Amino acid sequence: MEQLSNKKTLIVNYSGLKIGGIEIFFVKLMRHSLDKGYRVIWLTNESQIEEAFPRDLIEDKRLEKIISGSGRRLFKRRSVTFSHDEDVTMLSCEPLHFIAGEEIRRKAKVESFFHFLILPHFTGNAYYLERYFGNGVLNRLCFKYMKKLVSIWEKEGCILAFSKQHLDAYEKNYRVTICDKNNKVLKKIEERRDIEKERIVNKSQERKNKFSIITCSRFDFPHKGYILGLIKTFAHLKGHYPELNLTIVGYGEGEKILKEEVAKLPEGVGSAINFTGALLLEELNQAFENSTLNIGVAGALLAGAKCAVPSIPVRHYSYNCEGYGFLEDARSMCLSSEEGQPIEKYILETIQMTDEEYIMHALAAYESAYESHDTDPDFVFRKSNAHSNATTTLIQAIIARVINLACWFLVRFKGAKGYE
């Protein structure tokens, strides 16, 4: 592979770093970049710095934290100073954040400046801005504006994604052909983890005395509503299988809702549910390794499977917990909102299977998680845009400011959700 200049600069235009597949990717990329001697800048806000994990990365003096605008002040960003010989790569995950980031690119006088919109979801108002505005005239005007921008971003090589499904969804929604999709899906940062077969064997034999279910997710509803369904299913099964316990790893606005649901449960059930909050990556891996069954969605589910834990992908955007089968048979369903089967079916199957079957599913989950595991931690630095200058015009940027204020108003005063 080509050698990369040490004058490389990474800008992560994503304010929150806690628990989730997106966050895990950025944490690993930032650590890798710092270790390579690259300049790393994180655009965030003060409240996110206070709450972010992992603390060792956040407190690393090499990491430059620049306070940027958010909400209605999204476009009021502090300037970033560059030397003329820097090669800059900037990553954003939402259209409005991307447009705001283009203002930084417009003012930068550097060797090269490439900016990418990384699609992290296949739905959600924050990624499909016209959906904030219902079905009326404003929706159609915003759609027309977004369709124009998406066409420009695709032509300029600005669009990447965490999954081909995210590209398919964007293409279908905006009726813009996205070419060469396989080369626009992010590569993995890390090599394969080593696994201990003895640990898997021990867990298979201990299931009748201790059966630990784990799920890891941001508490964003209805997107991750499956957690509420999982709690209800767990409560039902606990009376029949006293060896069950449930670990919920995560954070978010829905935490109060989850804990209120748990508080309603009988004491012997509620006390078997443990909320860990956000964990360091090393702590998260340890939690997975200590678990018997991993239930969840997307990147967080795969993180558990990489620890050789039998894993069940479940339905997005549902308050029922509906599974699609074991990961090795349902790899394509990690990002699905299609109807599945009640999760009770798969929990019982895991409880009742033989030790040999359990070991087989653990190893199969591990292999499936690394399926098509194309590792290139410098992938984003090897990508380039068609041009190094900003893709949005000043008029388009002004329109974006108006849309941002409208979206902020709808969220603040009308109860609209950015990520539903």
- Give the residue-averaged pLDDT of 350-372: 93
- Collapsing DSSP to helix, strand or coil, 159 comes out as strand
Which range (125-134, 260-269, 278-287, 338-347) has the least confidence?
278-287
State yes or no: pLDDT of 239 exceeds 80: yes
pLDDT at 262: 96
- And the tokens for 299? 């990147």
Burial code of 286-308, b = ≥16 C-beta within 10 A, e = fewer?
ebbbebbbbbbbbbbbbbbbbbb
Does 197-369 match 8-189+376-414 at the fold level? yes
pLDDT at 311: 98
In the chain, the percentage of residues whose pLDDT exceeds 90 is 72
Residues 6+ apart with CB under 8 A from 3: none
Sorting pLDDT into bands at 50, 70 and 90, what band is 5?
Answer: low
The CATH fold of domain 197-369:
Rossmann fold (3.40.50)
Which range (29-43, 220-234, 369-383) has the least confidence?
369-383
CA distances 29 to 20, 121, 377, Å, are 14, 19, 7
pLDDT at 321: 97
Distance CA 122, CA 165 (A): 7
Sorting pLDDT into bands at 50, 70 and 90, what band is 280?
Answer: confident
Q: What is the pTM of this model?
A: 0.80
pLDDT at 24: 84
pLDDT at 281: 81
Which is higher by pLDDT, 37 or 373? 37
pLDDT at 219: 92
Q: Where are the chain's structural domains?
A: 8-189+376-414, 197-369
Sorting pLDDT into bands at 50, 70 and 90, what band is 6?
Answer: low
pLDDT at 20: 72
Read off the DSSP letter of residue 329: G
What are the beta bridge partners of residue 114? 89
CATH of 8-189+376-414 among 3.30.750, 3.40.50, 3.30.1370, 1.10.287: 3.40.50
pLDDT at 328: 95
